[in-house]
Structures are given as C-alpha cells and as structure tokens.
Amino acid sequence: MALASWGCCSWLILLCAYAWGHPKTVDPKTEDVRNCSTSPQYLPNTVVNTTAQLAALREQMHTRNLSAYIIPDTDAHMNEYIGEHDKRRAWITGFTGSAGTAVVTMWKAGLWTDSRYWTQAEREMNCDWELHKEVGTVPIVNWLLTNITAGGRIGFDPSLFSIESWESYNEALRGSDRELVSITDNLVDLVWGSKRPPVPSEPIYILQKEFTGSTWQEKVSSIRSQMQKHHKAPTAVLLSALDETAWLFNLRSCDIPYNPFFYSYTLLTDSSIRLFVNKSRFNSETLQYLNSNCTDSMCVQLEDYSQVHHSVQTYASGAVRIWIGTSYTMYGLYKVIPQEKLIADTYSPVMVTKAVKNSKEQTLLRASHVRDAVPLIRYLVWLEKNVPKGTVDEFSGAELLDEFRRNESFSSGPSFQTISASGLNAALAHYSPTKENHRKLSSDEMYLVDSGGQYWDGTTDITRTVHWGTPSAFQKEAYTRVLIGNIDLSRLVFPAATSGRVIEAFARRALWEVGLNYGHGTGHGIGNFLGVHEWPVGFQSNSITMGKGMFTSIEPGYYHDKEFGIRLEDVALVVEAKTKYPGTYLTFEVVSLVPYDRNLIDVRLLSPEQLQYLNHYYQTIREKVGPELQKRQLLEEFAWLQQQTQPLSSRAPCTTSLASVLAVTILAILDWTI
C-alpha cells in the first residue's frame, strides 16, 4: 500500500536513493587555492611562506653578480625519489610535487610544472611565485630572456644538471647575450644552512649471499672484461647512478625513499676500485668484505663522497680514457673530464649488465612475486567485505595494503607510494591519496590499486582494477580491451634484439580499434631489491633492445576523464620462445600472480587464443600461489583465489557463491593437511 501511494513519483525515490547512497567526491580541482589577484591576497592555510628564503637567496645571487638562478627538482644522481636534504626546490618554493623547476631573478620567481601538479602548486606556494603551466627548457628560457637584460648571468649548480639539461639550456641561450654560469656552491644550500636536514647516516650493509646473483668480485671482473673488449679501450668506468654502485658491490641502505640505495660514486679502473662514500657508515665486517685494507686490483679503496670531482679530475690528467653513461652522469662530473679522454654511451656497462638477470636472480625475483601475491589477495578479499559497509577510503586502504606487505618475509617496505584511486581519481594516472585528501571507496565505482614491495630477493610492482557492483557496458568493454592489450603483448613472440618501442603497439591495438588510448608508457624495467623503475629496459624510445633475462612491466590502461581509470600491470620475464622453425625468438613469462576482476571481463570480446592464454595464466596462479595460501592457513583467501581463477569460457560464466567455494575449500585443506 505504501509503495502504491508513491507510484506517481517513482523517479523521486530513485533520485533520493542515488543521493543517499552515492559518496560525495573530493575533486582536486575544487580544493582551496590561493588568489593573488585580490586585495588582500587570499592564501589557504596550506601555503608555505617562502619570502625570507627568497630574500636570502637574492642576497647570495647579488654577491655573485647573478641575474637569475635555476633550481631543478633533481639530486646529484638523477634519482626518481629525492632524499629530504636534497629537496631544495621544495624548500625554496613551498611546492612539494615531484616534478617542477624553479627560477629566481632579482625581482621575480617562477615555477614550471605539468598539469598533475597545478592545483597542488596553487595550494602550497605564496604569491611571491608565478605558476607557469608548461614544462621544458624553451618556455623557461623565453621567460628569462624577457625578464633579464642583455649581459645577464644565469647561475646553476652543475652537480644538479644532467648533461642533456646543460646542453639544452646552453643551446637555447646561444647568441642571446646571456651567460649560463656554473656555480659550484649551491646557493639554496647556503641559505638553508643549519635548518637543512642532515645527510643520511644509517649503516650500509651487505646483502646476504642467498639474495645475490653473483659476488661483487665476479661483477667487477665482468665489467673489466667488457672494458678490455671495447674498441676504444677505456681504462676506467665512472658510475654515478646509485643503483649501479649498490648492485656492483651487493650493498644496500636507505638513503632514498622506497629505494635501498646510498649516496656514492664508483671509479672502476683496470687496476683499482675507488668507492666514494661516507666511510663511517661501514662496520668492520663490511670493510673486510670489501677488502678495503689493501690496494690490489680487487681491493676497494674508500674515499670521501665529497672528493669525487677532485679524484676524477686528477685521474683524468693521466693517459686514460673514462667510460661513462650520459643518462646519469651530471654535468659537474662530465666537465672535469677532457673530451678526448671521454667515452660516452647513453648507459654505462654496469647499467646494461644489471638489466639482464642471471638464472639465480630470475629465481629470486619469481619467488618474491609469489609471496607478493599474498598481501594483495588478502587486501582484495578484505575490500570485498568492507567496501559495502562504507568504512574504507583510499588512504586507509593504501595503509592497510602496505601493512600486509610489511608482514611478508624479507620485506623492506613498499617500492613506491601506493596509488589507491577510486572513481574519478583513478582517471589521474599517478594519483596518490593523502591523509587530508582522499575519497571513500564505493561498490558503485571502479577502484584502481597500483602498488609494490621491496624484498631482499626482489622488487615488485602490480596494478589491478576492480568493481564490486554493476559496471556499465562501456566500463566492461574498456577494461576488457585493456586486458586484451596486456594479453597480446604478454604472449607475443618476437625476434631477439627487438626494441620495446617496436612491439609496444600490441598493448594498444584493442583500444585503438575503437578509438581509445592511454597517455603513459607501456612498461619499465624492475630490479632485484633495487629500483621499481629500472632503466634501460622497457618500451620507450630510449630503452635498450629486449634480451633474454630482462624483466619489464606490461601495463596498458585507459582513463576516462572525471569518471574512472583502468590499468592492468604485470611484471614479466623475457624468455626464449619455442617456435616451429629454428631461430632466435623471444616472448614473455608473466611472474605477477593475482587474477583480474571477473566482474569486468566481457569474455565475448576475447579470441579463443586470448581466452586460452588467460585460463592457462589462472591455472599457473592456482599452482604457485594456492599452496602458499594453504601453507599459511588463509582459508578465505584460498577460497577467493579458487573462485576468481575458475576457467572462463565464451559462454556466460557460472556464478558460484564464495560461501560454497569456501566450504569445499576448507574440506580440501583439512584433507590436505592430515
């Protein structure tokens, strides 16, 4: 009777139900931002007042007769993540985003960053700073030419400029009657003074033998062998990237967020090994391990980190030739080596050698991915139960997943900041929630989680996208086409030494067919307890050709602005392919082992070959992860895995309740454990 009386207004019932049940969104574009055009100016409480820093910096500029000073977002090693004491641009501007360049003149100050950070910059910078919504050298130089007069001097720290950056600025300023001036003393550091966070001093430790593929002596011998075979006969290799030195000596620490690196340089010559580092961070065991008390060719001579420029310059004064990788060597070191004594490749021999994992390293990385599947499966099961209650948000979810990973054997924390994105936030490819800004997870929306762990035996990175309710037809199609792209690239057979850029389109084909695409790269290399983004492996134009033993992510996606985002990322090993006829061909072996969301797969779009591949992958997950869950008595998670990895068919999938699967599973486990 009551329902009948509302019959004429059924639309109102639906509208109210939607309003009550649909979560309010937090759109980053509507957040509280500064307004510098009003009088008085409006500044939200998130703004950092940097007026005093700017004034002090300009005093330093004045004493050196500088018209402008450039502050990049890098450190001296081109690290993806920056240590606290290297966050100069953040300290001088107040802007904490990971990408952006600041430039200060005697009268103006500007920040250049991309669209990911525009709102954040408006919330964090005071009105001393102009926000320029573009990136690259050209717009910065154009602004400099407008704001400083002819004859002006533009200062920069050569230890923070890559070779490419220096060449770019130098070329853009050529003929402008403005001079690019190298200033060895960093002016921001001078102003920062005693308030600057200290340099990390945690111990540098030996990675245990069971977690390494070769001894450091074997690695040194391998690099020296490459030097001897090089047609230009280098006498030394200079290593500037932190993962190069960490890998070479099987040493680790925690100087860089999410990466087990330590500040260092290495000069490996044909007769000596020089490691530039803070020696006080080594205990007696590590000093003995490095043979640091002798001077033979297999003894590591320790020199202070700050002496690297002087030592390289002194070495370069002899009859030598120094081999460098230009991608990670900063201009400050590059300029002390005479050009005629320089052998420059894009990547150093250590970087290229490290990219190819030997059989033991492959075994270690595979094992880390089996264990890493457990915390993500635990998290997905937990979400299924708790999201409908309305008690889960992006930030609390990310924290729980990180906690699950920290409880795993050999864990050393997350490999990057977890991307936990619901609904419209998932349309931002690199969005991460904060304690202050996040959304509730809802059964009515898609949810994307991109996460990874650092383990002593390997580094992991995996992305899954799920929907707990009823996805739209378009969402299912987009998801399935992303999945097809993942499958097509993963099962591809291709000639050895093929560039990743050549085969990258296979991940996009299914999207391109219907006019869809994604704006980020398709994959990147990954390390053995090193960096989660390990160059030079991947599908970019500057990646090296694919070779057996390399690990890469495969991560196609689709992002529908202000509505939802999809990404499906797995890590895969490049292996030799079995072909009908003789030849050297390669393919991928996926080592990430978490099923995709059945609720979002439209099996009608899958070809028989794609369906067969997917079911084989699911069987692999059952065989490798199932026993791990059983061993830990994770009954509910094992039941979930059995349900999610049931073979798919082109017919409508049967629906089996989790409760019934759980009951059968418990009986199976009890029988299995008797």
Task: Please give the backbone phi and psi of residue 634, each rounded to the nearest 5 degrees, phi first.
Answer: -90, 80
Q: How many CA atoms lie within 13 A of 31 on its CB side?
A: 19
- Please report, for residues 34, 35, 42, 304, 458, the alpha-carbon distance to residue 38 in angstroms, rounded to integers and kept in the order given: 10, 6, 7, 52, 53
Burial of 253 (0-12, 13-18, 19+ CB in 10 A): buried
User: How far is it, in rounded angstroms, from Cα 34 to Cα 399?
Assistant: 30
What is the pLDDT at residue 19? 37
Is the predicted pLDDT of residue 656 greater than 70, yes or no?
no
Look-up: residue for tokens 């006019």?
A: 515
Is the predicted pLDDT of residue 164 greater than 60, yes or no?
yes
Question: Is the separation of the CB atoms in 374 and 629 below 8 Å?
Answer: yes
pLDDT digit string, tens, across residues 437-489 = 899 999 999 999 999 999 999 999 999 999 999 999 999 999 999 999 999 99
pTM of the model: 0.90
pLDDT digit string, tens, across residues 318-349 = 999 999 999 999 999 999 999 999 999 999 99
Q: Across residues 610-618, what is the average pLDDT?
A: 98
Is the predicted pLDDT of residue 354 greater than 80, yes or no?
yes
User: How far is it, in rounded angstroms, from Cα 329 to Cα 475?
Assistant: 44
User: How far is it, in rounded angstroms, from Cα 485 to Cα 518?
Assistant: 11
The helix (H) or strand (E) run that includes residue 211 is none
Q: Could you give the 3-state DSSP secondary structure of residue 535?
A: strand
Quote the tokens at residue 228: 């001897």
User: What end-to-end distance do the CA atoms of the chain give, in Å?
Assistant: 58
Question: In Å, how far from its chain's centre is CA 345?
Answer: 24
What is the pLDDT at residue 650? 81
Q: What is the mean pLDDT of the chain?
A: 92
- Please report, for residues 50, 247, 333, 430, 647, the alpha-carbon distance to residue 195 in angstroms, rounded to integers and kept in the order given: 14, 33, 27, 31, 60
pLDDT digit string, tens, across residues 369-425 = 999 999 999 999 999 999 999 999 999 999 999 999 999 999 999 999 999 999 999
Predicted confidence band of residue 583 (pLDDT cuts 50, 70, 90): very high
CB count in 10 Å sphere of residue 616: 12
Question: In Å, how far from its chain's centre is CA 197?
Answer: 24
Task: Please give the backbone phi and psi of residue 565, each rounded to the nearest 5 degrees, phi first.
Answer: -140, 150
Q: Is the peptide bond prior to 40 cis by the omega test (within 30 degrees of 0)?
A: yes
Is the predicted pLDDT of residue 654 greater than 60, yes or no?
no
- Please report, for residues 247, 416, 652, the alpha-carbon distance to residue 55 in angstroms, rounded to integers and kept in the order given: 43, 35, 69
Q: Across residues 279-301, what is the average pLDDT?
A: 96
What is the pLDDT at residue 437? 85
Q: Could you give the 3-state DSSP secondary structure of residue 615?
A: helix
Question: In Å, how far from its chain's centre is CA 179?
Answer: 35
User: How far is it, in rounded angstroms, from Cα 653 to Cα 222?
Assistant: 53
* CA dihedral sign of residues 632, 634, 639, 645: negative
Is the predicted pLDDT of residue 12 greater than 60, yes or no?
no
What is the pLDDT at residue 432? 87
Look-up: residue for tokens 């995996």?
A: 462
DSSP-assigned states of every residue in 192-220: HGGGSPPPP-PPPEEPPGGG-SS-HHHHH
Is the predicted pLDDT of residue 16 greater than 90, yes or no?
no
287-291, 436-440, 543-547: the lowest-pLDDT one: 436-440
Which is higher by pLDDT, 331 or 8? 331
What is the pLDDT at residue 180? 97
Closest CA to 209 of 251, 240, 173, 179: 251
Q: Across residues 201-212, what is the average pLDDT?
A: 98
Q: Across residues 234-239, what is the average pLDDT?
A: 98
Is the predicted pLDDT of residue 178 greater than 60, yes or no?
yes
Is the predicted pLDDT of residue 257 greater than 80, yes or no?
yes
User: How far is it, in rounded angstroms, from Cα 664 to Cα 387?
Assistant: 26
**Residues paired with residue 381 on neighbouring β-strands, in sequence order:** none
Burial of 596 (0-12, 13-18, 19+ CB in 10 A): buried
Is the predicted pLDDT of residue 4 greater than 80, yes or no?
no
CB count in 10 Å sphere of residue 436: 9
Closest CA to 557 of 599, 511, 601: 511
The DSSP symbol for 598 reads G
User: How far is it, in rounded angstroms, from Cα 61 to Cα 127?
Assistant: 21
User: How far is it, in rounded angstroms, from Cα 237 to Cα 325?
Assistant: 9
110-114, 431-435, 649-653: the lowest-pLDDT one: 649-653
As a dihedral over the C-alpha atoms of residue 242, residue 243, residue 244, residue 249, rounded to 10 degrees, the angle is: 100
What is the pLDDT at residue 9? 38
The helix (H) or strand (E) run that includes residue 519 is none
The helix (H) or strand (E) run that includes residue 670 is helix 658-673
Q: Across residues 516-535, what is the average pLDDT?
A: 96
Question: Is the separation of the CB atoms in 491 and 587 below 8 Å?
Answer: yes
Predicted confidence band of residue 436 (pLDDT cuts 50, 70, 90): confident
Report the amino acid identity of residue 566.
Answer: I
Predicted confidence band of residue 119 (pLDDT cuts 50, 70, 90): confident
What is the pLDDT at residue 31? 55
Name residues whose C-beta falls within 8 Å of residue 331's C-beta, 6 or more positions apart in sequence: 158, 159, 161, 162, 163, 165, 166, 182
DSSP-assigned states of every residue in 61-82: HHHTT-SEEEE-S--TT--SS-
Is the predicted pLDDT of residue 29 greater than 60, yes or no?
no
Q: Could you give the 3-state DSSP secondary structure of residue 634?
A: coil
Closest CA to 541 of 559, 526, 521: 521
- Please report, for residues 96, 120, 284, the alpha-carbon distance to residue 126 in angstroms, rounded to integers and kept in the order given: 13, 12, 49
CB count in 10 Å sphere of residue 191: 21
Q: Is the peptide bond prior to 260 cis by the omega test (within 30 degrees of 0)?
A: no
Predicted confidence band of residue 665 (pLDDT cuts 50, 70, 90): very low
Quote the tokens at residue 407: 């409880």
